[in-house]
Amino acid sequence: MRAALGLAALVAFLAVSTSATAQNFASVDSAFRLEWTAGPSAKGGQQLSGYVHNTTNRRAVRMRLGIDGLDRAGNVVAHTETWVLASVPPNNRAYFETPVPPAATYRVAVLRFDWVDDDGGSFRRW
């Protein structure tokens, strides 16, 4: 029953549509929170810019984001990926910006990253 309620909540979340210029927030998991805005870029076309918030006490590096462009019905009409160029410090945030194809709204997710221990520089892939 809980699984069905969780699935229903996820479907309801994904069905909500916002305008492409609205500010968006998404909770990826307990470690990261994404915040982004879509709008025109200085070079023409659309761009997505925002922050990855790291809510942990560990540094995240080599982070790759997946961006789905959605039509008004919520169907994926475009997909792109981008790197977060800086590390995401513990209990802090890192900026990202990337050109995107035009879409009614966007969905952003963390695809991959590595944890790095600040004390010795060891990496752990996620």
Q: What is the pLDDT along the chain (126 residues), one digit of tens a residue?
A: 455 444 444 433 443 333 344 445 444 468 999 999 999 988 889 999 999 999 999 999 999 999 999 999 999 999 999 999 999 999 999 999 999 999 999 999 999 999 997 765 565 555
Closest CA to 121 of 63, 53, 58: 58
Looking at the DSSP assignment, which residues form a beta bridge with residue 84? none
> How high is the pLDDT of residue 103?
96
> How high is the pLDDT of residue 104?
95
Which domains, and CATH codes, for the chain? 2-125 (2.60.40)
Tell me the CA distances in angstroms from 115 to 30, 121, 124, one per residue in order: 14, 9, 5
* CB-based burial label for 116 (10 Å; 0-12, 13-18, 19+): middle
109 in Cβ contact with 50 (< 8 Å): no
User: In whole angstroms, what is the distance from residue 69 CA to residue 10 CA?
Assistant: 18
> How high is the pLDDT of residue 5?
42
b/e sequence 9-44, b meaning 16+ C-beta within 10 Å: eeeeeeeeeeebeeebebeeeebbbbebebeeeeee
> How high is the pLDDT of residue 13?
40
